Amino acid sequence: MTYLNIIKKSCNDIILKNNNEERYLNEKSVQMKLAFDIWKEKNIEPELEKCFNYKSIDKTYTDIFIKDKIKIGIEIKFKTKKVEGYEYINQGAQTNGKLNSLIDIKRLLDLKKKKEIDSGYFIFISNDYLYWKKSRIGKTNSHEYSFENERKLKAKFKEPDWSSKTYSDEIDLTEIKTEKILWNGEDNGVNKNSFRYFVVEV
């Protein structure tokens, strides 16, 4: 089984279980689940919170690092909203959640360019419909960071211009492999528990 197929199988298991009960409540539990599934399938121990430059002031990490015949970096974003009958919390700040996700993808791309990894995967999991809902055009360019289904990712994103932004520069993702966002999992409606995910290959 390829690493991409292991990731998708693990993510499918996560959203199936989370739509029925509070099985995976935070990003750390998702990270551990995915690392265990990779170890079980490939018989290779993944490294968690891999740091590539310990001596640097600005250290670069990946959530999961695998050294097989090739070197693989994996980044995970796990965003929840409160749903009646479940223990998930409201994380909110969807605009910066999208921006920070693109920064994670760019980090993987930069690591690939530096030959620190040969391949990278970014995983986004959420039960918050505001992430896949079509963004409204407002006074800022936050709508350009939309995560709606089939949104093109292999592109240049202009400098974010909203006041609470966590990053100020253009984000160039034109060299990633994945062309667009493809959500997996059912949308059960507004204010319903609908865990879904998408994967980006770098």
Read off the pLDDT of each residue in 7-14 and give the average, rounded to a whole number: 98
Task: Give the pLDDT score at 92.
Answer: 74
User: What sections of the chain are H helices per DSSP?
Assistant: 3-18, 27-42, 94-113
Read off the pLDDT of each residue in 146-169 and give the average, rounded to a whole number: 92
Task: Give the pLDDT score at 138.
Answer: 83
pLDDT tens, 126-152? Answer: 999 999 998 888 889 999 999 999 999
Residue 139's domain spans which residues?
Answer: 3-201
Q: Residue 181 in 3-state DSSP?
A: coil
pLDDT tens, 76-89? Answer: 999 999 988 888 99
79-112 in b/e form (b: 16+ CB < 10 A) is bbbebeebebeeeeebbbbbbebbebbbbbbebb
Distance CA 122, CA 77 (A): 8
39 has a pLDDT exceeding 90: yes
Read off the pLDDT of each residue in 8-20 and give the average, rounded to a whole number: 96
Task: Give the pLDDT score at 173.
Answer: 97
193 has a pLDDT exceeding 90: no
Read off the pLDDT of each residue in 37-45 and give the average, rounded to a whole number: 97
Number of domains the chain is built from:
1
